Structure 1
Amino acid sequence: MSSQMHCDWKTQLYTLLAALPADRVVSYGGLARQLDGVNARMVARAMASLPEGTSLPWHRVIRSDGHLPDHAGSAEQRARLLADGILLEGNRVPRQYFL
């Protein structure tokens, strides 16, 4: 993948993320399917590289099975989802919240 393509898909990813409604979540794969030549792992790596304090709703990107990913920001992610009105069932987001 050329560096130009790399920048383009990340820009598209961040645009999709910015447009995500506050009461909805999306999976890594769901975002990847909207981007040519991108897979869920690439999306996950791009999400992990977002700068701290970003205004993008990174916390609304979860695994396709509804479970929250296990990472250093898990507690913050959980708190932000609850603040957005997304109710959790244990460590899982119910399907009704998926985009």
Structure 2
Amino acid sequence: MDEFEAIYALVRTIPAGCVLSYGEVGDRVGVRPRTVGRAMAHCAQEDHVPWYRVVGSDGTLRVARYSPVLAAEQRRRLEREGVVFGSQGRVPIAYFW
């Protein structure tokens, strides 16, 4: 299994309403957080990879740096799963799996 497939396999196991950081995914799979970021940027919708459940270690939606539209979509999907954002727009530690 290549690195991206290992990342996707793990991300598919994150329960609804929970998140992991890029670093946590990387630690569990044995890759660098940047590799996780690249994998999330390239995952196909048809793979049913819940990319939106991967956030920065501080709870920020890192995709906002590149696409405010995707960040809004990520937040919408997480809120639909019951994730409540803190006052600074971050996912609180209580939602980390």
> TM-score under structure 1 normalisation?
0.85
- The two structures, once aligned, show a CA RMSD in angstroms of 1.4
**What is the CA distance between 1:52 and its match in structure 2?**
4.2
Question: In structure 2, what is the equivalent of residue 96 of structure 1?
Answer: 94
Gap regions ≥5 residues in structure 1: 1-6
Tell me what 1:40 maps to.
33
Q: 1:61 aligns with which of 54, 58, 63?
A: 54
Aligned to 1:74: 71
Q: 2: distance between equivalents of 1:64 and 1:96?
A: 13
Aligned letter for 2:17?
Answer: D
Deviation at 1:23, TM superposition (A): 1.6
Partner of 1:80: helix, strand, or coil? helix
> CA offset at residue 51 of structure 1?
2.3
Following superposition, which runs of at least 4 residues in structure 1 exceed 4 angstroms of deviation? none
What is residue 16 of structure 1 aligned with on the other side? 10
Q: Which has the larger radius of gyration?
A: 1
**Cα drift, residue 54 of structure 1:** 4.6
CA deviations 1:38-63 (Å, max 9, x no partner) are 10011001100112455211101000
TM-score when normalising by structure 2: 0.87
Range 16-25 or range 53-62, more displaced: 53-62
CA distance in 1, matches of 2:57, 2:82: 20
> Identity of counterpart residues, as a percentage?
39
